[in-house]
Amino acid sequence: EVQLVETGGGLIQPGGSLRLSCAVSGFTVSSNYMSWVRQAPGKGLEWISVIYSGGITHYADSVKGRFNISRDTSKNTLYLQMNSLRVEDTAVYYCARGLLLTTRRGDAFDVWGQGTVVTVS
Amino acid sequence: DIQMTQSPSTLSASVGDRVTITCRASQSIINWWAWYQQKPGKAPKLLIYKESSLQSGVPSRFSGSGSGTEITLTISSLQPDDFGTYYCQQYDRNSYTFGQGTKLDIK
């Protein structure tokens, strides 16, 4: 069964660091592009980072220079290292799998985890 | 950066109604759009990708159309389980952007 399970959220003070994990099952983390998407309380979805199968990474301007996305193929796990956390980073953080079509990326996300809550206060 | 405007922000409709949600981009999008449904306390669920392709397992009453700067999600006959918030999403130059969301209530 294809599944994503996020862990690592919690309460952290401003300026602190936290590492989120997304355990992948049912497929290989490096075979797909993977993203982190967050949702502040009562707000909409905000994409924050992607790692492509070749290892290239990209970030939203709101987290660039503070967050780092990575993966460990031996553990089949995706990570999000979050540094210099701000109150406005408070959100539910989801990991999501990129949709793959036969000939190209689908530019959408077809599998999502249940989310992990990060509170910066 | 491309700006996206989703409308309406809230919508109340009755079972059996035809419902339409629109997303408009500030400039032409050459890549594909997607639509998601999110219920309270749950992760988003992919409904439509590549503007009009129905994700596996999604009921056929959901459909997507449009191109260029405007796309539309249509629910042909609203069902009680269709409540939730709907988001459009597009990709451009290594960045993914979601619309602000449309909260759909069932009357």
d(CA A34, CA A85): 22
d(CA B16, CA B11): 14
pLDDT above 80 (res B35): yes
The residue ranking higher by pLDDT, B84 or A101, is B84
Residues in chain A within 8 Å Cβ distance of B44: 37, 45, 94, 109, 112
pLDDT at B83: 95
d(CA B4, CA A3): 30
pLDDT above 80 (res B1): no
pLDDT digits (tens, 9 = 90+) for A23-38: 999 999 999 999 999 9
Contact criterion met (CB < 8 Å) for B94 and A50? yes
Average pLDDT value for residue range A2-14: 98
Average pLDDT value for residue range B59-73: 91
Q: Among residues A41, A6, A38, which one has the least CA distance to residue A116?
A: A6
d(CA B19, CA B36): 15
Instruction: Kindly identify which residue of chain A lies nearest to residue B92, measuring between CA atoms.
Output: A107
Looking at chain A, list the stretches that DSSP marks H as alpha helix, in order from N- to C-terminal side.
Answer: none
Q: Are B51 and B95 in contact (CB under 8 A)?
A: no
The contacts of residue B11 (CB under 8 Å, 6+ apart) are B19, B21, B102, B103, B104, B105
Residues in chain B within 8 Å Cβ distance of A108: 32, 34, 46, 49-50, 89, 91
pLDDT above 80 (res B68): no
d(CA B73, CA B63): 6
Residues in chain B within 8 Å Cβ distance of A6: none
Confidence label for A106 from pLDDT (cuts 50, 70 and 90): confident
Average pLDDT value for residue range A70-76: 97
d(CA A48, CA A62): 8
d(CA A47, CA A102): 24
Q: Please tell me the number of Cα atoms within 13 Å of A113 on its side-chain side.
A: 26
pLDDT above 80 (res B103): yes
B6: closest CA of chain A, how far (Å): 12
d(CA B73, CA B51): 9
Contact criterion met (CB < 8 Å) for A107 and B34? yes
Q: What is the mean pLDDT of chain B?
A: 93
